[in-house]
A and B are shown apart, each in its own frame.
Chain A
Amino acid sequence: MASVSGPLGGLAFEEAIPDILGEAPTPRRRRRLRFRPWRVIIMTLAGAYFLLPIYGGLKFSLEDLNGRFSFEAIQNLPSAPGFSDAFWLSMRLALATLVVSTLLMVPTTIYVHLRLPRMRRVMEFVTILPIVIPPIVIIAGVLPAAPLWAKSSPYLLSFLYVILVMPFIYRSLDAGLSAIDLKTLVEASRSLGGNWLRTMTSVILPNLRSALLSAMVLTLALVLGEFTMASLDLWTTIPVWITQFNTSSNGHIQVAASMLGLVGTWVFLTIIVSIDRSESRRSRRKAGTL
């Protein structure tokens, strides 16, 4: 049978159809949560699993040696021998790790997304290795090979922490980049005269804010809690200090330090999320929608 051609012949019919779906405002539905017993059971079990140890630690850190409620352990923490040195070392290492990992991973991930999309699977595989390979294997391999000047500096740990946080930073950035039309945004910026630096700072990074912030939180949480590498490299970070602190004198201080690390990370996370939310709210307010 002879064919009837005109590949777009039906366009007139399509045009006659109003795009009702595209224009209609989406009604906001309020979902009422219905009581379901299994939900309550799961939530209770999960809550107990996470909260009971924290409650135990918090309770113990808020007791004196006689078991009475007291802030003594927390008050004595800053003056505990070696604590402030360990605290500042952990902070410096966290900051250095943040800077190095951001400088390394942000351009790399963007480059892979833009120019080497086929390498994303390879990147996913490579960046998951630090989770598969125990930290003890990494530090045991690095220490004999590292030059003396590197071993004598605590910042060697930062470079190792960069490897440790890679899975979290990469996944966070990967998710952030997948959520935007990176290629088109970059091309739009470049066609408007933006060089690579301006494109990065004015277009890409502002749109990766949430991804970057979550990457930062994960990095800080991981670095502030890392024990194995710091211990084997003979640097007293907070986790190492906690294990080395003389428990016979006051175990409450030790637990108080652990709780402080936990609460500190939580506070930092809250601050970052608040900044992110207030930025979004400010944008909306500027646009006159709030």
Chain B
Amino acid sequence: MAPTAYLDHAASTPLRPEVLAAMTPHLAGPGANPSGIHAAARAAKTALEEAREQIAAVLGCAVGEVVITGGGTEADNLAVLGVGRVAGPGHGVVAPAFEHKAVLAARDRLVADGLVAHDVRVGPDGVVDLDHLAACLDDRTAVVSVMLVNNEVGTVQPLREVAALVRDRAPRARLHTDAVQAAPWLDVAGLAADADLVSVSAHKCGGPKGVGALVVRDGVVLDPLLVGGGQERGLRAGTVDVAGAVGLATALRITAEQRDAEIERITRLRDRLAAGLAAVGDVTANGDRTRAVAGNLHVRIAGVESETLLVALDRAGVYAAAGSSCASGATEPSHVLLAMGMDRVAARESVRFSLGFASTDADVDHALAVVPETVARLRAASAAA
């Protein structure tokens, strides 16, 4: 088979073999409902609560503060809508313009309910503008949502400073952080300690798709999205996906155990890829690269539309991404880059290469064998057209 290089870990990662091994007994076993009274149910309940303990340990919260959800989007929705709906009309919802759509769309729902949105400015460095954030906060602010790591450009946000501003200027507000992209690279427990609500997702760290968690600190009141049997402290009704929770827990635990060594290894790979790409000329980094997580390489390659480049790369077995994928699979100009002040042309020439635990030297070798040559060819063909 022709060689391939999977450089789209920020979109999703493969399942870690250890995760698959941990999940398998819960998929192939009796499959009991953890809410039942019999032995099979007790076993499922034990597995679920052990998983919750592992998740709590990695995220630095009490076991009872972990709500298992159907992924990162649901966790974001539950946090933003849950707090906003408790607060009600007239209250403020504050979020930077480059948040994930799961936060922005939830905010828009709240606006339809009569709450007031404040779009916080973002700098060209890919970092939230703290002065503008401060100006957006007041006594009426109900929820502030600032991601820990941006999903496109990979920049780490100053969450402690954000939390201090919120405490100072909006004492009634709840602070939510989308830590979905942070979990593979950062100590979420430490960095998000000041947040009232923290979202994570399994499939960004070698876990299964369709499972995530929301940390809901003790005392935070939420209006649930799903109501029914009262599972997850009444915050998320529905039979819990036991295998998924075990997968999430295992993925988070292994990621945390291996983090320091992995950051060193992946940084080296990423920097080698970046240096090789820079050789094609007119390649500029998007956002402040000193603030980017190890796996993220986000660049503008002048003169090459990313939609064309990604197809050419795919045909040569290099899998990368640009912007955010809409449901149809088309690449829309990135709202993140536009929020950072980039023009549409520059945004359309930007691509993201994202590495992760499964990345190897061979991936970078293949990418470097393909990408510079492809860029040169496309530039020549575009110039001739």
Q: Are A and B part of the same complex?
A: no
